[in-house]
Chains A and B, each alone.
Chain A
């Protein structure tokens, strides 16, 4: 069965510092991986995805993520955090070749950026 783990409920970082939000996945075969962000009282906004190719994926708002097949990880990163990055971040996986293209989401990580 497919699953996604976000081991940290909350990540605290000071503005201007680099941030990392962790995600590990479990799926047989090759995965498609996604990051979404949810601001308070808003829907999920797509940040980036890994399909194939370069392991470093660049996305919206200066975010990037690194796909690591051996560690089955897809950590979200940003070189310099902004207070406005504070939000709830979700990692999601979809199985390549699966019967459906539904997304399996992690439990979310709350990112708090202190000024």
Chain B
């Protein structure tokens, strides 16, 4: 157990809908990352937050947004969902911004868009 929690574990929804994925980082970790794992794209970095502020963006669609709250948990919002958004979404956390630091991953949220 990495100490990173994600809810829900599974999510089934329809095209056009909006969902929110939640992540609680390890105790004491200030940095949160979101990754998407899909069969065709592999594991891709979406976005990073550090202590409530957006730090870096990767291949994140405009329909997707995220935020990190004062208690350091993070939410990833996916809207106008398409079939291709079906994937496993991981959250990871690290202590701060140090590049030597290890990112610890949560169990993921499996999203299925029908």
CB pair A100 B56 closer than 8 Å: yes
Binds B, one of A10-18, A78-86, A91-99: A91-99
Partner of A49, one of B33, B58, B102, B105: B102
CB pair A46 B104 closer than 8 Å: yes
Chain B residues within an 8 Å CB radius of A46:
2, 102-105
Residue in chain B with minimal CB distance to A34? B102
Interface residues of A in 20-49 (CB under 8 A from B): 32, 34, 36, 42-46, 49
Interface residues of B in 97-114 (CB under 8 A from A): 97-108
CB pair B107 A43 closer than 8 Å: yes
Residue in chain B with minimal CB distance to A92? B43
Q: Determine the interface band of chain A, counting residues with CB < 8 A from chain B.
A: 20 to 34
Residue in chain B with minimal CB distance to A101? B99
A90 contacts chain B at the CB level, 8 A cutoff: yes
How close is B37's CB to chain A, nearest CB, in angstroms?
Answer: 9
Partner of A45, one of B42, B56, B101, B105: B105
Known: A43-B90, A97-B99, A108-B42. A102 touches B2 (CB 8 A): no
CB pair A99 B99 closer than 8 Å: no
Partner of B48, one of A36, A44, A95, A100: A100
CB pair B99 A43 closer than 8 Å: no
How close is A90's CB to chain B, nearest CB, in angstroms?
Answer: 7
Q: Which of A46, A98, A102 has the most CB of B within 10 A?
A: A102
CB pair B99 A32 closer than 8 Å: yes
CB pair A105 B48 closer than 8 Å: no
Chain B residues within an 8 Å CB radius of A94:
99
CB pair B48 A102 closer than 8 Å: yes
How close is B39's CB to chain A, nearest CB, in angstroms?
Answer: 11
